[in-house]
Chains A and B, each alone.
Chain A
Amino acid sequence: MGLTEDRERFREVGEERREDLAEFISHGDLGGSDPDRVRIPVKIVDLPEFEYDQREAGGVGQGQDGQPQPGQPVEPEPDGDEEGDPGEEGGEHEYYEMDPEEFARELDEELGLDLEPKGKRVVEEVEGDFTDTARAGPRGTLDVDEFFKRGLKRHLATDFDDEYVREGLFVAGAGVDDAFAWARDEGIPVSRAWIADAAATLAAEHGEPVAALDRWESFDALDDAVDREPVTQRIRREGLDSVPFRREDERFRHPEVIEKRERNVVVVNVRDASGSMRETKRELVERVFTPMDWYLTGKYDAAEFRYVVHDAEAWEVDREEFFGVQSGGGTRISSAYELVAEILEEYPYSEWNRYVFAAGDSENAGSDTTDAVIPLMESIDANLHAYVETQPGGAAPNARHADEVEEAFGDADNVAVARVSEPDDVTDAIYEILSTEADGDGGATAGEAARGRTDGGENR
Chain B
Amino acid sequence: MRDERVEAKREAASLDEPAAEARQLAERLGLEPYPVRYWVVDHDEMNELIAYGGFQRRYPHWRWGMNYERQRKKDRHGLGKAFEIVNNDDPSHAFLQESNSAADQKAVITHVEAHADFFANNRWFGLYADRGEDGPNAAARLERNADRIAAIADRPAVDRDEVERLIDAVTALEDTIDQHSPVDAARSVEEPGIAEDVNDPDEDPLAAIEERIAELDLSEEVRRDVFDDEWLEARGEGVEPEEPRPDVLAFLRDHGKRYDPESGKSVDREPWETTVIDALREEAYYFAGQKQTKVMNEGWATYWESVMMGGEGFAGPDEFLTYADHMSRVLGSPGINPYKLGFELWSHVELRAARRDVIDKLLRVEGVTPENFHSRVDLDEVADALEPHPAIAGAGPATLDELAELAADGDPRVDAEAIDRALSARSEGPPETDGDWESDPDDGPDIERYPWKLLTREGLAERHYVLSRPEHRGALRNVSRETLTERARYMFDIDRYATVDEALADVDRAAGWDRMLEVRESHNDVTFIDAFLTDEFVREGNYFTYEYSRATEQHRVASVDADDVRKKLLLRFTNFGKPTVVVLDGNFRNRGELLLGHQYNGVALDEESAKATLERVFELWGRPVNLATIRVEYSDEAIRRAKRRGTEPKGEEVGVRFQYDGGEVTAHDLDPEIKERIAADEVDYDTKPDDWLA
Q: Is there an interface contact between A62 and B581, defined as CB atoms closer than 8 Å?
A: no
| B165 contacts across to A, CB distance below 8 A | 20
Say how far B409's CB is from chain A's closest CB, in angstroms: 43
Bound-state Cα–Cα, A50 to B689, Å = 28
Q: Tell whether B152 is near chain A: CB-to-CB under 8 Å.
A: no
Q: Is there an interface contact between B62 and A6, defined as CB atoms closer than 8 Å?
A: yes
CB-CB contacts of B556-574 with A at 8 A, as 1s and 0s?
Answer: 1111100001001101100
| A45 contacts across to B, CB distance below 8 A | 62-63, 66
Q: Is there an interface contact between B85 and A63, defined as CB atoms closer than 8 Å?
A: no
**Stretch with Cβ within 8 A of A (4 or more), from B202-210, B231-239, B449-457, B597-605:** B597-605
Q: Is there an interface contact between B298 and A90, defined as CB atoms closer than 8 Å?
A: no
Q: Is there an interface contact between B168 and A47, defined as CB atoms closer than 8 Å?
A: yes
Say how far A28's CB is from chain B's closest CB, in angstroms: 11
Bound-state Cα–Cα, A42 to B69, Å = 8
| Interface SS majority for chain A | loop
Q: Is there an interface contact between B66 and A83, defined as CB atoms closer than 8 Å?
A: no
Q: Is there an interface contact between A74 and B64, defined as CB atoms closer than 8 Å?
A: no
CB-CB contacts of B539-571 with A at 8 A, as 1s and 0s?
Answer: 101111111100010111111100001001101
Q: Tell whether A44 is near chain B: CB-to-CB under 8 Å.
A: yes
| B687 contacts across to A, CB distance below 8 A | 58
Q: Is there an interface contact between B607 and A53, defined as CB atoms closer than 8 Å?
A: yes
Q: Is there an interface contact between B66 and A10, defined as CB atoms closer than 8 Å?
A: yes
Residue of B nearest to A70 (CB): B557
Q: Is there an interface contact between B545 and A59, defined as CB atoms closer than 8 Å?
A: yes
Q: Tell whether A455 is near chain B: CB-to-CB under 8 Å.
A: no
Residue of B nearest to A20 (CB): B165
| B685 contacts across to A, CB distance below 8 A | 57-58
Say how far A159's CB is from chain B's closest CB, in angstroms: 80
Q: Is there an interface contact between A86 and B557, defined as CB atoms closer than 8 Å?
A: no
CB-CB under 8 A for A3 and B65, given A50-B605, A60-B543, A87-B112 = yes
Q: Which 6 A-B pairs have the closest CB atoms?
A: A90-B80, A10-B65, A63-B542, A48-B612, A7-B65, A6-B65
Residues of chain B at the chain A interface (Cβ within 8 Å) = 48, 50-54, 57-58, 60-66, 68-70, 73-74, 77, 79-88, 94, 108, 111-112, 115, 146, 150, 161, 164-165, 168, 171-176, 287, 290-291, 294, 297-298, 301, 330, 333-336, 338-339, 539, 541-548, 552, 554-560, 565, 568-569, 571-572, 576-579, 581, 598, 603-607, 609-610, 612-613, 615-616, 632, 685-687, 689, 692-694
| A74 contacts across to B, CB distance below 8 A | 546, 555-557
**Stretch with Cβ within 8 A of B (4 or more), from A92-100, A206-214, A244-252:** A92-100
Q: Is there an interface contact between B65 and A66, defined as CB atoms closer than 8 Å?
A: no
Of residues 74 through 108 on chain A, the ones whose CB sits less than 8 Å from some CB of chain B are 74-77, 80, 82-94, 96
| A49 contacts across to B, CB distance below 8 A | 172-175, 578, 609, 613
CB within 8 A of B61: which of A6, A54, A65? A6
Bound-state Cα–Cα, A52 to B603, Å = 7
| A21 contacts across to B, CB distance below 8 A | 168
Q: Is there an interface contact between B546 and A13, defined as CB atoms closer than 8 Å?
A: no
Bound-state Cα–Cα, A50 to B596, Å = 11
Q: Tell whether A68 is near chain B: CB-to-CB under 8 Å.
A: yes
CB-CB under 8 A for A40 and B73, given A49-B609, A74-B546 = yes
Q: Is there an interface contact between B62 and A9, defined as CB atoms closer than 8 Å?
A: yes
Q: Tell whether A43 is near chain B: CB-to-CB under 8 Å.
A: yes
| B609 contacts across to A, CB distance below 8 A | 48-51
Say how far B53's CB is from chain A's closest CB, in angstroms: 6
Q: Tell whether A187 is near chain B: CB-to-CB under 8 Å.
A: no
Bound-state Cα–Cα, A64 to B332, Å = 12
Q: Is there an interface contact between B539 and A67, defined as CB atoms closer than 8 Å?
A: yes
Q: Is there an interface contact between B542 and A60, defined as CB atoms closer than 8 Å?
A: no
Q: How many residues from A make CB contacts under 8 Å with B?
A: 68
Q: Tell whether A18 is near chain B: CB-to-CB under 8 Å.
A: yes
| A8 contacts across to B, CB distance below 8 A | 65
Say how far A79's CB is from chain B's closest CB, in angstroms: 9
Bound-state Cα–Cα, A177 to B498, Å = 139
Bound-state Cα–Cα, A18 to B112, Å = 39
Q: Tell whether A153 is near chain B: CB-to-CB under 8 Å.
A: no
| B48 contacts across to A, CB distance below 8 A | 3
| B87 contacts across to A, CB distance below 8 A | 86
Q: Tell whether A345 is near chain B: CB-to-CB under 8 Å.
A: no
| B68 contacts across to A, CB distance below 8 A | 3, 6-7
Q: Is there an interface contact between A11 and B111, defined as CB atoms closer than 8 Å?
A: no
Q: Is there an interface contact between B86 and A86, defined as CB atoms closer than 8 Å?
A: yes
CB within 8 A of B86: which of A6, A77, A87? A87
Q: Is there an interface contact between A87 and B66, defined as CB atoms closer than 8 Å?
A: no
Q: Is there an interface contact between A50 and B613, defined as CB atoms closer than 8 Å?
A: yes
| B175 contacts across to A, CB distance below 8 A | 49-50
Of residues 125 through 140 on chain A, the ones whose CB sits less than 8 Å from some CB of chain B are none
Bound-state Cα–Cα, A11 to B693, Å = 48
Other than A42-B70, A72-B557, give 17 A-B pairs with Cβ distance below 8 A. A2-B146, A3-B65, A6-B51, A10-B62, A13-B66, A49-B609, A52-B578, A52-B579, A57-B685, A59-B545, A71-B694, A75-B555, A77-B336, A84-B294, A86-B86, A87-B83, A87-B85
Q: Is there an interface contact between B82 and A60, defined as CB atoms closer than 8 Å?
A: no
Most A Cβ at <10 Å: residue of B164, B290, B546: B546
| A52 contacts across to B, CB distance below 8 A | 571, 577-579, 603-606
| A62 contacts across to B, CB distance below 8 A | 334-336, 541-544
| B604 contacts across to A, CB distance below 8 A | 52-53, 56
Q: Is there an interface contact between A10 and B335, defined as CB atoms closer than 8 Å?
A: no
Q: Is there an interface contact between B545 and A80, defined as CB atoms closer than 8 Å?
A: no
CB-CB under 8 A for A50 and B557, given A43-B69, A82-B291 = no
- Ordered by A's residue number, 19 sampled pairs between the chains whose C-beta atoms are within 8 Å are A5-B65, A6-B61, A6-B63, A23-B612, A45-B63, A52-B578, A52-B606, A53-B604, A56-B632, A58-B548, A61-B557, A64-B542, A70-B560, A85-B85, A86-B86, A86-B301, A88-B80, A89-B82, A90-B80
Residue of B nearest to A96 (CB): B77
| B686 contacts across to A, CB distance below 8 A | 58
